[in-house]
Structure 1
């Protein structure tokens, strides 16, 4: 299957579940202390510059960042998600776009987060996506990436009663760190944790990286 067809399946799936996703996941940061702490690091690193939420879904992370005083742009593949994000979080800006072709200017962002969005990319798309993230970050800009830990690929055919066809690629921290390095980032911090009772039962990985100045 072509990359465009694969992304089309992801877009269609998230469009189908957008309202349910907002109801089920939209308040998740309330019980994610580690995520809030790492997002706080991103806000501080941005130093008042623009922050991108890449794969923003219904905009709850972007909304939280905005409440911390950050200027935020959320970007998502799903127009249904973008519509909800604009409705629920008017303090942030939202754009429709693909991780491989971000609708942003070179160096537009001081920092960016990609929380569980790269898990929908095919293995060969990860490095190009990270290179695109580097493009839209200013020199020495901060990037926070999170993902499910492992090597499996899980296919979801039904989600909250909606038929979908979405693959979730679990990733290994060392491999993601290596790909970030190839794309022009230096990984500065790594964290792994177990899933919370409120989450799917998977282990989670986080990498905090800085765009190389060159």
Structure 2
């Protein structure tokens, strides 16, 4: 994949597409009952742990942060892209959004009752994933719930254009749920469920639930 910095490429790419991304995906959950069901289960599991904050890591324009808030969670968003955070703050001024990297979260140890990473690990290289998941474990309190969503399968491809035709330079990594589950277990989390979903014939999503 060369010597380019994947964090810089991800930040620049999503700064470029932020407005178009928000417009294209703003109402996507309305036609996605399976995704709503998965998020609803996550919210139920978090609520069972009692009151506490929930981080939407890689929140983009904040659509899922707002959805979780609507399900009764004390949710806030973190994203690498300042432009995405600007859009999130504009569209959801009653919620909290911060610029930050999942590789080094500015969140206190053991402070979260839940953490959502919804298709935000897809640009993280394999060799960096264990450190990211260790961060997730660090910020979760005992019993805290993590939900990871990602593209299932194998292999990586370079994405050079997207979301309104704007230029991008990010690798999209597909992973089998079993591999993601093994990484979570290695990071010290307990895996509760692995799921797959086919929203269209050529797309397969994976979801893994885990807790600290």
Aligned length: 207
CA distance in 1, matches of 2:188, 2:175: 19
- For 1:42-75, what per-residue CA distance to the aligned partner results, in whole angstroms no more than 9, with x for missing partners? 2222223211101101000001111122111111
**Which residue of structure 1 aligns with residue 178 of structure 2?**
174
Question: What value does the CA root-mean-square deviation take over the aligned residues?
Answer: 1.4
TM-score (norm 2): 0.93
Asked if 1:83 corresponds to 2:86, the answer is yes
**Which residue of structure 2 aligns with residue 24 of structure 1?**
24
Give the CA deviation at 1:162.
Answer: 1.5
**Which residue of structure 1 aligns with residue 204 of structure 2?**
203
Structure 1: 5+ residue runs without aligned partners?
none
**Which residue of structure 2 aligns with residue 102 of structure 1?**
105
- The DSSP-based 3-state class of the residue aligned with 2:203 is coil
Q: Which moved more, 1:158-167 or 1:110-119?
A: 158-167
Structure 2: 5+ residue runs without aligned partners?
none
**Which residue of structure 2 aligns with residue 8 of structure 1?**
8
**Which residue of structure 1 aligns with residue 44 of structure 2?**
44
Give the CA deviation at 1:2.
Answer: 5.4
CA distance in 2, matches of 1:69, 1:205: 25
Which of the numbers 139, 142, 147 marks the counterpart of 1:144? 147
- For 1:152-190, what per-residue CA distance to the aligned partner results, in whole angstroms no more than 9, with x for missing partners? 112111222212111100111111110000001111111
Q: Which moved more, 1:44-53 or 1:132-141?
A: 44-53
Q: Which moved more, 1:118-127 or 1:42-51?
A: 42-51
**Aligned residue runs from structure 1 range 55-94, under 5 A:** 55-94=58-97
CA distance in 1, matches of 2:37, 2:198: 16
CA distance in 2, matches of 1:91, 1:208: 28
CA distance in 2, matches of 1:113, 1:156: 24
- The DSSP-based 3-state class of the residue aligned with 1:90 is coil
CA distance in 2, matches of 1:63, 1:196: 25
TM-score (norm 1): 0.92
